Amino acid sequence: MKKLLCTLGPASLNKTIIQRLEGLGASLFRINLSHTPLKEVEKTIRLIQGYTSVPICLDTEGAQIRTGNFVDQDIYFRPNTNVHAHIRPVPGNNQEFNFTPPEIIRELMVGDFISIDFNAVLVQVTGLDEEGAVLRILNGGTVGRNKAVTVDRDIEMPPLTEKDKASIAIGRDLGLSHFALSFANGSDDVAEMRQLIGDDGYLISKVESRGGLQNLEDIAKSSDAVLIDRGDLSRQIPIELIPKIQKHIIKTVRGLGTEVFVATNLLESMVTQPGPTRAEVNDIYNTLLDGADGLVLAAETAIGEYPVRCAEMVFKMMASIDHKLDDLSGSLTEIASSSMLVAPHGGQLQTYEKTALEDASLDGLPRLKVSDAALMDCEHLTEGTYSPLGGFMTKEEIESVLEKNMLPDGTIWTMPIVLQAQADQIVDFGVGTRVVIQDAGGQGRFVIDVSEIFQPDMAAACRRWFNTDSSAHPGVRRVMKNGPVFIAGEITPLKYARSSSHHFELTPSQTRFIFEHRGWSKIVAFHGRNPIHRGHEEIQKRALESTGADGLFINPVIGAKKPGDFLPHPIILSYQVSLDFGFLPKDKTLFSSFTTYSRYAGPREAVFTALCRRNMGCSHFIIGRDHTGVGDFYEPDANGRMFEDLAKVGDIGIEPVFFDAIGYNSENDTYEAESDKGNWQSISGTKIRDSLRDGVPIADWMMRDEVQNALRQELLSGAPMFVE
């Protein structure tokens, strides 16, 4: 398994990013001592340890010259001018500045050429005095603080600074075992480092100088790993030779049985851009193909704008290295990108969209007219929403689900997906028959290849399905009404017309495509069945923050509901207004309706709706206390207990995010979990619905004025808003 070492810095030294990088599979977190003051070392180590168990590596400053502090962030040196490099501290500017270590000035000689900050600036020493050195600017440019400096001849420097030694001692006291030696020039340097970290320490020696290259074998033999720092190495080796040198180092070091890592400019463009260049991808692929055991992200994860995306890209490349071109079969146009999204339930989406049949080819086949709810199930079976199912369940499958909450093969599944009919509807067909499924208007929509027809004990099935066989339960009433005959079989779509709200709906394949395009891999989904109110908004934002997710997927149900429930349009409108006014983060939110119906199956349905969102590519799913429940048929903690029980026996593959009811505290103008405080007020969906119906204003703390005003305008225009 290839390793990824991630440097932590201002962009990533926080709980969210550290845990995201750990979740992706980071092997080591690197602290660069060149950019970490000694007084910050202990605090930085403790902060990282508080968020992760991934090992931490202290990377020494080593024998390197750097620029000192400047008055401003950087300095512009004008060509053909002089600047004074001082030994004593000065406020760095384009007239005078310092090198670190400051005493290195005494090692300079008149005539030395010095490159500063990756050859941005070239100077020559033209004079030496008690104050320091006079430098002539031969090639001007902008130089930053603490940037690397290279003299055109070798200057002997100790392998470790006093700061390095003090930092190593702190690291050892805090339990660190991984350390990196910068600018290892020979086995003596490695031995000095080994003495400080102990024989049990993991020592990475960085080859980034001519001396390190000349003594490569000795360094590799006395180290646990070698790291090729291509940036600093390119200061002393012509850059056009770096690829050849890299291959030589990898082959030599691996031949000695020592691990070898490669660093510098792997995804440099992604410091500011969301995606890599083709050259960078090619570089990473060939570096891995050459045999590198791991890669190091530096600026990409320390100061870059997209630390998680960078890590994801590297892991995608690592996955691709296992699928070489010779192994490909079939058309190259079918090659899929390596995905960092959660895998579909059961491993792959069961989709039949591309095999849609022509209605005309089915003349003479028996027909079965079904309800809108059954048509919705057909859609989701053929689009992959119900993966791994590809058709309506057999008697064995239903029995397994009701008894064990899993399919016969052991895959977690909690919801029977059934096609019911009355006895007089099936007189024209039997097992082995292909049947056209029609909508209420007689239009053919799907085909089912019937594999089984059976009549279960309906009351017994409902007791296990809904925990009751009472006709007071809407789920029980629906099942009892739909007919005693159950038909099993695989579903294939015809070329059908979608519902009027379908342009707001996305299939699992489409949501996954969008998530990939946006660079999201950790997505939290919200279910819902009403227009958005302030409680929903608070829960969505909190879930986004607490999970550290890349994005929020709002996916409310807009299918058939009970009388008095909201129709699809007002639900969609409310979310569109919230997005338009910026009440939800536009760059982190994707909205899509979910054309299905509530089964009111309590905890079974909570798990089922979570699995549907997993198939859509979501990693987390928000679940409220009464999620998909009804009345008092389910205990308040039933959802949580079911998730806990299922996690003990199988893979759900999506993490629930539980929330209690959120209300408003008028005393401090905050939204809080349900409380018996006198100032706490509940946010009631029923009250919102009744207020809209009666024309009574709703407090802004319950539903934003902009949202309720848009809904009221719909009512005034005569548009229907509720299921009658």
Specify the pLDDT at position 46: 98
Specify the pLDDT at position 674: 76
pLDDT (tens digit per residue) in 274-309: 999 999 999 999 999 999 999 999 999 999 999 999
Question: So where are the chain's domains?
Answer: 3-61+159-326, 65-151, 353-493, 504-598+660-716
pLDDT (tens digit per residue) in 201-215: 999 999 998 899 999
Is residue 338 very low, low, confident or very high in pLDDT (cuts 50, 70, 90)?
A: low
Give DSSP secondary structure letters for 138-198.
EE-EEEETT-EEEESS-----SS-HHHHHHHHHHHHTT--EEEETT--SHHHHHHHHHHH-
The yes or no reply on domain 353-493 and CATH 1.10.3720.10 is: no
Which overall architecture, per CATH, does domain 3-61+159-326 show?
Answer: Alpha-Beta Barrel (3.20)
Q: How far apart are CA 646 and CA 650, in angstroms?
A: 6
Q: Is residue 420 within 8 Å of residue 370, measured between CB atoms?
A: no
Specify the pLDDT at position 334: 46
Please provide the average confidence, as pLDDT, over all residues in the chain: 91
- The whole-number average pLDDT for the span 520-545 is 94
pLDDT at 355 over 50: yes
Nearest to 462 by CA among 413, 416, 510, 427: 416
pLDDT at 333 over 50: no
Tokens at residue 486, please? 């159950």
Question: Torsions phi, psi of 663, nearest 5?
Answer: -125, -175
Is residue 335 very low, low, confident or very high in pLDDT (cuts 50, 70, 90)?
A: very low
- The whole-number average pLDDT for the span 34-61 is 96
Q: Which is it for strands 680-681 and 259-263: parallel, antiparallel or unpaired?
A: unpaired
Specify the pLDDT at position 100: 86
Specify the pLDDT at position 331: 47
Angle at 157 (CA atoms; ends 154, 161), nearest 5 degrees: 150
Per the model's pLDDT, the better-predicted residue between 465 and 495 turns out to be 465
CB atoms within 10 A of CB 24: 17
Is residue 476 very low, low, confident or very high in pLDDT (cuts 50, 70, 90)?
A: very high
Specify the pLDDT at position 350: 86
pLDDT (tens digit per residue) in 107-135: 999 999 998 886 678 999 999 998 999 99
pLDDT (tens digit per residue) in 229-251: 998 888 888 899 999 999 999 99
CB atoms within 10 A of CB 564: 12
Which fold is adopted by the domain 504-598+660-716?
Rossmann fold (3.40.50)
Q: Is residue 595 within 8 Å of residue 558, measured between CB atoms?
A: yes
Q: How far apart are CA 448 and CA 442, in angstroms?
A: 16
Residue 94 DSSP class: S
What is the helix (H) or strand (E) element at residue 285, kind and residue range? helix 278-290
Specify the pLDDT at position 319: 87
pLDDT at 496 over 60: no
> Where does 65-151 sit in CATH, by number?
2.40.33.10
Among 94-103, 179-188, 620-629, 687-696, the minimum mean pLDDT is found in: 620-629
Specify the pLDDT at position 494: 86
pLDDT at 327 over 60: no
Among 183-197, 314-328, 629-643, 662-676, the minimum mean pLDDT is found in: 314-328
